[in-house]
Structures are given as C-alpha cells and as structure tokens.
Structure 1
Amino acid sequence: MHSLFKTKIGCVAKDELRYWSRSKLAISVLIIGIILTLSSVIVTAFKMHELNNQRQTMQNTAEQTFMEQPDRHPHRMVHYGHYAFRTPSPLSVLDPGVDAYTGNSIFLEGHRQNSATFAEQKHSTGLTKLGSLSPAFIVQVIAPLLLILIGYSSMSRESESQTLSFLFAQGTSIFTLLIGKGLALFFVVCLIVFPLTISALFAVFQGESPIIAASFLLAYILYLSVWVLFILFFSTVFTKKNESFTALTFAWILFCIVMPRVASTTASVSVPSAGKLETDFAVIAELRKLGDGHNANDPAFAKLKTSLLQKYNVDSVKELPINFRGVVASASEAKLSSVLNQFAEQRMQQELQQTQIARLFGWLSPKVAIRSLSMLSAGTSIETHHRFMRETEDLRFRFVQSLNKAHIEKLSYIDDINRNKGKEGNQKARINATNWQMIQGFNFTIDDATTRLSRSTIAFMQLLFWIVILSMLIRIMGRRAI
C-alpha cells in the first residue's frame, strides 16, 4: 500500500483523501455511513440471535406440548395440530430477505394448508414499506447516496477550478486522474463494507460456508464499485459540481428507488395471480368433489368400502379387522392434500415467475441485481421459502397420516361410532398417549453453497455488466476530456 501511494495514481488518490479529510461534509457523511452500517449490523445480529433462540425454544415447546397430551381420540389430535418453526440462516443477520414478509412459522393441522405466520412486516407501519434498516438495505440504498455526497465533485471540481490543464502539463493523464480518484472512492467502499466483513466472519463461525460469505462480500464490493464508476462518469461528463451532483442524485433515485418498484410492478402485471378470496373459493369447489372425510357413509367412499369388504371377505364394515372410519379419514386426507398441493404449487410457480421477471431488471438497475444476489447468497430468497413450505407440508401430511394410521389400527370401529354415547363410550374411543410420540424434531436447513452460487450467477453477471459498460463510457468520456 505504501509503494502504491508513491506512484502517480497513488499520489492522486492520496490527494483526494486529503481533500476529503479537510471537508466537514465528507467526514460527516463518512462517519454517518460507517455508524449506520455498523449499528445496523449489531442490532440485526442481536435481533436474529434472539429470534433463533426463540424459534428453537418454541419448536421444542410445541413438540413437548403435543407429546404430553393425554389419551385422546386420534382425530382430535389431528385438529389439535402442531407448529413448525424456521430458524434464520447465519447470513440473515445481514439480509433478512423475504423472511420479513413471508413469515417463519406454520401451524400444521389436518384438512388444510396454513400459510406462514409471524411476518415482521405484517406488524409494521407504512413507513417500513421502502425497506427495513437492515445492513443490506443500508448498503444497497443509503451507501450509494453517501458515496455520491463524498465524491460527486471528483472530476468536475478539477474542471470547474481549471486545474486540469495544469495537471496535464505536469504529465498526469486523464486516466491516471480517474483511476486515482476511483481508488480513493474504493477506499471509502472498503470502510463501508468492513462491518459486513466482520459480521460475515461471525456467520462462518456459526456454520455458514466460507465460499458463500466471500461471494456475499464480493457482491457488495462490486455493487458499490458500480456506484464509484457512476460517480467518476458523471463528474467527468459535467464540468460543474452542481450539475454532476444533480445527475448523480437523479441516477440514485432512478436506480435505487424507481426501478425496483417498476420491476415488482411489471412482474405482478406480467404474471397475474388470483387473489386469496378467489383462490379459496376455487379450493373449496374442488374439495367438495372429494366427499366429506368425517362421514364414512359419504357416497364418495362407496367404492373404497366395497373394495375393503371384498378384500377381507366380510359383509359389513363392522366385521372389518380395521377401523373403516380411519381408512376414510386417511384416504380423504390423501386426496385433499393432493388438491391443496396442486394449488400451492401453482401459487409458488407464479411467485417464482414473478421473482424471475423482477430479477431481469438487474440489467437495468444495479440495485435490483444486488438485491437478488444478496438474498440468494444469504439463503433468504423466495426459493428457500418455497422449500420451507414444501418441507413443512410433507411434515404435516406425515404427521396427520400417522394419526390416521393409529385411528385405523388401534381404535375399533364399534368404539369409534359409539364415542358420543356417554362418558364410558367417550373413554373407549381414546387411544394411549404413547401414540403421540411420532412427532420428531423439525430442523430446516438452507440450501447448500453450490445451489446458492448457481442461482446467483446471473446476478453476478449483471453487476459485471454494469462495471464493463460504465468503464467503457468513462474511457470514452476520458478521451474527449483530453
């Protein structure tokens, strides 16, 4: 580093840093940026650590409460239900991603698929719609503005003060100036990213992949480097400081505020999805065709009844060696789950298509690119949420069918149909509480490093695309400035 500052490029960078050190605005902005990033990292880290402990405790409590239930009718336990919680990923301390909007726990019960609950943004005010003050939001939205406030006059200051000719006369080329001033801005980028680096190291100690942590940091360095190039480009194009500041502010509003909203709106219009009420009516209409699983005499199960009577060579369901009501409940749950899964997959495919369309806007906005890349790397993207929904649905189905199996094998049909005939009938229609031990610990893990890296490839290409395009534009404008 010391030898670098002895070169012409290093001298330019050193001179730029010296200029900023004498500017109250630059120093104030830099301090604010570092404090904002550091404080958001610390606050979010404590928050996610607390959430991790809470969810793990609640998961254990939910399992213990379920298994400690007394002797009951097995179908009562189907409706008693069970909870599944998703613990945050190590890098979610830097980017909570969609978790703040989708929820982190699901109530599992028979005959229905519940959506995730306890989403942080659902309990927030309208002021948080732009984004929460997470480290990712600070670096994605606030940091570029801070860089603009520090470096907007990097080249235009030289033009306005008419020092460019003097510098050229001393043998300093325009590209030496650009690279030196860019190097000074990159030094500021490193200061802003430093708190993220410390937090990423802690994430590695908590089990995160070192490759993922490194790619996460690289993504933010590339993103802020794009804004360094924006600053150099506009301060080269415009010869007055106020003009370059106005152009950079407009670019920040366009790329950080407007384009992400345009992306999400375009995605929702391009892939329209039915509203909750419309979907609920469609689901109900399909489920009515399946028959009532609580009514063993429903005509929808006549064929099932006939096949069982033939299989066991008996004349009535009372003579079956198994509980026909439990068989109906199990068959009904299987058909019902198939229909629910069909609608759920349709909804998730629509959400994924919308997300993929929105991500294409990364070619038009570096903010969209880094937002996608950040969530994909941190394991807080929509793909991870969808896998959580699928795994919890698989847990729900196995949980319900295990109880239905106990209903079939461990409760007689006669006792079952007489369960409402007095206290004695009610007691006979219960099975031993040891049957509730089928619940096992639910432990959701994020996708492996290879999967997340492969999903992030396009977003990385988008950031590199911006760097290449801006570098070419700066080179062209640099030649014109000579």
Structure 2
Amino acid sequence: MSTLLIIAHDEWRYWRRSKLALVTIIISIVMALTSVVLTTISVADENHQRAHLQQQAEQTFVEQPDRHPHRMVHYGHYLFRNSTPLSTIDPGIDSYTGKAIFLEGHRQNSATFSNQQHSSQLTEFGPLSPAFVLQTIAPLLLILIGYSAISRETEAGTLSFLLAQGLSYWQLLLGKVAALFSVNLLVLSPFILGCLLAASHGESSAIIVTFILSYLVYLLVWTLFIVAISALTNSNNSSFAMLICCWLFACLLLPRIAANTTQYLVEQPSKIENDFAVKAKLRELGDGHNSADPAFLQLKANLLAQYQVEKVEDLPVNFRGIVAKNSEAELTKILNTFAKEQMQRELKQSTTNQLFAWLTPALAIRGLSMQLAGTDISSYHKFLREAEQVRYEFVQSLNKAHAEQLNYQTDINRYQDSQALQNARVSANNWQILNNFEFKPFNAEQRLTQSKLALMQLTFWLIILAVFLGLVGRKSQC
C-alpha cells in the first residue's frame, strides 16, 4: 500500500512541475466550483420567481369580479413548476421544456417559457451546469493531465529502470490510477457540496449517495481507460491522440448519433399533424358552446326524462351548463388519449436512446443523472399530468356553477342589453376553487427503480474497464 502512495505522490510531484497539468487541475476545480455556484444561484432565483408568480396567478384568478362562469373558463390559470433540489447539479431537460403552463377550457396547452428557447445559439452545445462539466469537460481535463502517466515512463526509458528495481507493473498501474483518481476527488468536491445543499432542501439521502457514487464511478471509468491507453502506447503523442479521439467519439459524436438514430427509429408526428388529428376527433363531439347542436339531443332527452319536464326552460339546472360540463368531460378523454400516446412515444425515444449507453459511458451517466435528479422526461410528464388534473377540476367546477347557479333563460338572453348581461353573472365566491399547487418529483424509491438500467450500464463500463486494465497489465508483464 505504501508503494502505491509513493507512486501517487511522485505523480503529483510531476504535475506540480508541469505547467500544463497544474493549470488544468486549477481550471477543473474553478470550472466545477463556478458551475455549482452559478447554477445554484440561478435555480434558487428561478424558484423564488415561480413561487411568487404562482401565488400571483392564484390571487389574480380569485380576485376577478362577478362574471359569467364560462368567461372564467377561458380566462384560465397558470401553473409553474419549481425545480427539484438536485437540478442545481443536473438541470436535465428542464432547460428545454417549459416551466409554466396555461390552463383553460377545451384544450391542453404545452408548457412554455423554457430557458433554451430564449437563449442564443452559443448555448446549444449545453448549459454550463455541474453535470455538463463532469460528464463532458472533466474527462477531457483528465486526459490532459493523465495521458502521459505510463507512456512518458516508456518514452524516457525509466519504466525498465523502475521494474528492474523490483517495482511490479501492477503497482505502477494502480499507483497512477490512484494519483489520477485523487484529481477526481478534487474536481468532485464542489459537486459534493452542491449535493449536500440539495440534501438540506429535502432531497433523499439515498438519492444523494447514489448520485455522488455514480459520478465517482463514471470518473473512475475514465481514469482506468486513460491509464490503460497510456500503458498501451509507446509515446506521449500516440497516447494523447488516441485518448482525444476516444473522448470525441464517446462524449460528442456517439450521443449525437444516438439522438439522430432514435428520432429515425421512433417517429413523431409533427405538431400540425397532431393538432389536425385532435381537431378531427373533437368535431365528432359537437360544439360545447352550442346547446342546440344535434350531438346533444340525447343528453337533452335524458335530462327531460330524468326531471320529468317537457322543455329545457323547466329544468332545475341550466342546460347550457350541463352541455358544457358533459362536453368538457368527453373532450378531456380524447385529449388525454392523444397526450398519453405522445408521452409513450417520447418515453420510447428516451428508452431507445438509453440503449446506446452500452456503447458509451457518457450516455449511461447522463441518463442516470437526470433520473436521479428528477429532471428527466418522466418527471416532466408527471408535471403535465398533474397540471391537466388541476385544469380539469377547475374547469368542471366553473361548469358546475354555470349549470346550478345561472338560470337558463337568463343565460340565453344575456346579450339583449347591458342589464341582461349584468344579470347573467354568478358570484365571485365561485372562483375560490384553486388549491395551492406545488410540483413534487417522484419519490426516492421510484427514481431509483427508474434508474436501474442506467445503473447497470455504468456498472458494466466499470467492469469492462477494470478487465481492460487487467489485460493491459498482464500483457505488459509478459
């Protein structure tokens, strides 16, 4: 054990003398710390703004004066999605999906106001989040530090001298791995502080531990790979060129290939095609604003028979409100069917893309990180489903007030004059129907279950690289 520490200490002494290695280590730590600080401040500020806007939206809704209830259906309401505690480390798809959604009757709107929609093309490569730094930049910086770990000993002729002194090749390899992995611990220290801050905001300890260990394993995979390649090559130039090519392929090229291939394998209809399909299906339901639509003749007959009256004017409820309520229920079933199909396609795309993680550890840690942080596509779908539940409940509450608190005759005559329009209103007390909305991600157990595949893939890469280093060590000894 002491021999490994001596080798690791000697490697650090070399790095202190090397301007490139020293500057790279400093840049790594500064970049990691800066990304954690900036992302934490940004997420905290955004959450504060969203909480304020959510409260303001609810207050604005309930403070509306007496109105016709269907006017309030179209007046609508906003919901805002707060970020999860670990989104300070990995924002995931939150930069590309909307953080707010407008709820109104007769339709399901998409979430809006994503950061990426309002950014310049300079940020398309990815936001400078701690996750991006660790997943993409850190392996490159490790290559700059460790590409010559073994190859320089070979190139300078000191490898034979060390082995002749009784040092085993395995001790040399493991000592270099230990030195390079200690750099990982320095780079990870700001990241760990960010995770501890997330824990103080309510994140599960099981998620925090798994999150940190996952990134440790990911960087260990790269450490083993760098030392193995350095041991396979006889010159620093060859080692550096090979490692840079592998980094470009694993961290940049293959993820892009995976995304493009996934889009080809799992086709998505365009928004226009989907909208036309929804509208075509909704036409079959009839016009919920027109109680005389033939689609509602059976509903009218059933109500007349139920209350044993001959005209809708004699019903104890407003027929127009009943039509609006029933129309919204049927319309929502259709909208939910299309929304479910869309979510299934997006989940299939995500699952297909994750299969490419068997080819690169970068995709394994990317999927695992988002799933643990609650910033993946499944969490976004959860927000949409919860928002739709809120939308349906508040619209149907207003339709209920329309049916029960507004006279049918008054309702149909409301445009005759200003007084009739004034009479066709209900009390503003009916707007007290909103509950304080606060989005919460999947619990720790659910997120750990969802991340099983990515955990297996990352473990697979650790085993593969450990075996690879073992084969390199055995071959070199021979």
- Which TM-score tier does this pair reach, normalised by the shorter chain? over 0.9
Output the CA distance in 1 between the equivalents of 2:65 and 2:82: 29
Alignment partner, residue 272 of structure 1: 267
In the alignment, structure 2 segments of 5+ residues that lack a partner are none
Output the CA distance in 2 between the equivalents of 1:49 and 1:473: 43
Output the CA distance in 2 between the equivalents of 1:219 and 1:157: 31
1:142-221 paired onto structure 2 within 5 Å = 142-221=137-216
Deviations along 1:237-270, whole A, 9 cap, x unmatched? 1111000100000010000001111111111111
Alignment partner, residue 50 of structure 1: 45
Output the CA distance in 1 between the equivalents of 2:106 and 2:265: 33
SS in 2 for 1:102: coil
SS in 2 for 1:438: coil
SS in 2 for 1:294: coil
Output the CA distance in 2 between the equivalents of 1:198 and 1:473: 33
Output the CA distance in 2 between the equivalents of 1:351 and 1:263: 14
Q: Select which of 279, 282, 291 maps to 1:287.
A: 282
Alignment partner, residue 73 of structure 1: 68
Deviations along 1:144-203, whole A, 9 cap, x unmatched? 000000000001111111111111111111110110000001100000100011011111
Alignment partner, residue 352 of structure 1: 347
Alignment partner, residue 35 of structure 1: 30
Alignment partner, residue 19 of structure 1: 14
Q: Select which of 252, 262, 279 maps to 2:257.
A: 262
Partner amino acid, structure 2, of 1:456: S
Output the CA distance in 1 between the equivalents of 2:125 and 2:344: 25
Alignment partner, residue 123 of structure 2: 128
* Displacement after TM superposition at 1:74 (Å): 0.1
Output the CA distance in 1 between the equivalents of 2:459 and 2:171: 22
Output the CA distance in 1 between the equivalents of 2:365 and 2:87: 15
SS in 1 for 2:437: coil
Task: Indicate yes or no: 2:219 matched with 1:231.
Answer: no
Task: Indicate yes or no: 2:110 matched with 1:109.
Answer: no
* Displacement after TM superposition at 1:416 (Å): 0.4
* Displacement after TM superposition at 1:456 (Å): 1.4
* Displacement after TM superposition at 1:302 (Å): 0.4
Deviations along 1:340-359, whole A, 9 cap, x unmatched? 11111111100000000001
SS in 2 for 1:462: helix
Q: Moved runs in structure 1, 4+ residues, more than 3 A?
A: none
TM-score by length of 2: 0.99
Output the CA distance in 2 between the equivalents of 1:150 and 1:66: 58
Alignment partner, residue 447 of structure 1: 442
Q: Select which of 407, 420, 436 maps to 2:415.
A: 420
Task: Indicate yes or no: 2:136 matched with 1:141.
Answer: yes
Q: State the number of aligned residues.
A: 477
Deviating more after overlay: 461-470 vs 48-57: 461-470
Output the CA distance in 2 between the equivalents of 1:354 and 1:336: 27
Output the CA distance in 2 between the equivalents of 1:475 and 1:157: 20
TM-score by length of 1: 0.98
Deviations along 1:355-386, whole A, 9 cap, x unmatched? 00001111111110010011001110100000
Percentage of matched positions with identical amino acids: 52
Alignment partner, residue 300 of structure 1: 295
In the alignment, structure 1 segments of 5+ residues that lack a partner are none
* Displacement after TM superposition at 1:419 (Å): 0.8
* Displacement after TM superposition at 1:127 (Å): 2.1
SS in 2 for 1:108: strand
SS in 2 for 1:191: helix
